[in-house]
Amino acid sequence: MRTALCDLLGIEYPILQGAMAHITDGKFAAAVSNAGALGVIQCGFDTPEYMREQIQICRSLTDKPFGVNLIMENDRIDEIADVCIEEGVQICTVSAGNPATIVPKLAEAGIKAIVLIPHARAAKKMEKLGAAAVVCEGLEGGGHIGSMTTLPLIAQVVEEVNIPVIAAGGIATGRGLLGALAMGCVGVQMGTVFLTSDECTVSDVYKQLIVDSKDNATVLSGVPGKKQVRCIKNPFTDGFWERYYAGVPEEELYDYCTGSIARAHNGDYEGGAFSAGMISPVIKEVKPVAKIVTDIMAEADAAWEDMKRIYG
């Protein structure tokens, strides 16, 4: 299997690792890139100095391409973009907020900007601004979510833009990858499956919650109509909704959520916000990153053989 995304980014397999705040640092991204997919360093609300350090760590650990995620809500995002340019980063993913100024800046510097978009209108706008590709992330994805689901989003976007389209949200298997290619995408972005890797630094409690999940294991938390996050349903999310429906003031709700991400990473089952995608129940074990990637590719190849039988 070789898609236009492999050629565009110089990677072996058409898989991007989703940037996850406080998790996918330079060391982690290097592990993913060494496995033949594209590792992506998160930026969260980190400083330009921290980002430079992570980029350098990543480069010291891999000679393969890697990316840096730029979150538009980071107050110092322009400086971080400058760091990427200075450090010779080749690929940036851009998410959360309005990327209208950063995309042309990256494109001008020769950095391939891959932009997360919520609908076809935004995809067309990003194409005009010089984006190299777009990621369509459906609301089934973990963490911060949009308002459309993956299938109708990609169906619309592949028809409306000429740049490559990457599917995200609800995909963690080789079959999901092959399905995205069948629908006209050039590859996929996956988050949750990389969260359950040996190399991931979150606690074993977090990984095991995903491995043990069944059926519709995730819920949203966060005030409806404002930013919401998809998490594994647990006492923390139950508590959020109890408070919300009891009419607790928003300020108190924010207080309730403060620290919940760190608590999840540290394995506090009761109090953590365990961001994860709706695809969690298909993930059955914690594996090394390299095995995650090779298993996905082997599954995709097997699914391809099944499809050849359908077409006789």
Number of Cβ within a 10 Å radius of residue 123: 25
- The residues in 2-61 that bind a second copy, with binding defined as CB under 8 A, are 2-3
Joined together, the tokens standing for residue 149 give 């689901």
Which residue in the set 56, 98, 147, 201 belongs to the binding site for a second copy (CB under 8 A)? 147
Q: How far apart are CA 27 and CA 274, in angstroms?
A: 22
β-pairing verdict for 218-221 and 229-232: antiparallel
By CB under 8 A, which span of 50-58, 98-106, 108-116, 170-178 interacts with a second copy? Answer: 170-178
Q: Report if residue 148 touches a second copy, rule: CB under 8 A.
A: yes
Question: According to CB under 8 A, which one of 29, 281, 289, 292 is a site residue for a second copy?
Answer: 281
Residue of the chain from 26, 67, 99, 277 that contacts a second copy (CB under 8 A): 277
Nearest to 172 by CA among 186, 196, 190: 190
Q: Which is nearer to a second copy, 2 or 226 (CB)?
A: 2
Q: Which of 157, 175, 130 is nearest to 166 (CA)?
A: 157
Closest CB to a second copy among residues 180, 261: 180
Spell out the alpha helix ranges (H) of the chain.
4-9, 26-34, 48-61, 77-86, 102-108, 120-129, 150-160, 174-182, 192-195, 204-212, 235-245, 250-257, 260-265, 289-310
Stretch that binds a second copy, among 20-28, 57-65, 127-135, 169-177 (CB under 8 A): 169-177
Contact stretch for a second copy (CB under 8 A) within 16-24, 48-56, 94-102, 154-162: 154-162
Which region among 86-94, 100-108, 148-156, 268-276 touches a second copy (by CB under 8 A)? 148-156
Residue closest to 292 by CA, chosen among 303, 284, 302, 281:
284
Q: How far is the CB of 102 from a second copy (least distance, A)?
A: 22
Instruction: Check if the beta carbon of residue 106 is closer than 8 Å to that of residue 115.
Output: no
CA distance 49 to 41: 14
Binding flags for a second copy, 87-126, as an x/- string (CB under 8 A): -------------------------------xxxx-----
Distance CA 192, CA 172 (A): 7
For residue 289, what are its two tokens? 């990153």
Site string for a second copy, 223-262 (x = CB under 8 A): -x--------------------------------------
- Stretch 176-195: interaction string toward a second copy, x if CB under 8 A: x-xxxxxxx-----------
Q: How far is the CB of 240 from a second copy (least distance, A)?
A: 15
What is the distance between the alpha carbons of residues 245 and 162, in angstroms, rounded to a whole number?
Answer: 45
- Would you say 179 and 6 are in contact if contact means Cβ atoms under 8 Å apart? no
Nearer to a second copy, 86 or 306 (CB): 306
CB of 204 to a second copy, least distance (A): 23
Contacting positions for a second copy (CB under 8 A):
1-3, 118-121, 138-140, 147-152, 155-156, 158-159, 169-173, 175-176, 178-184, 214-216, 224, 277-279, 281-282, 303-304, 306-307, 310-312
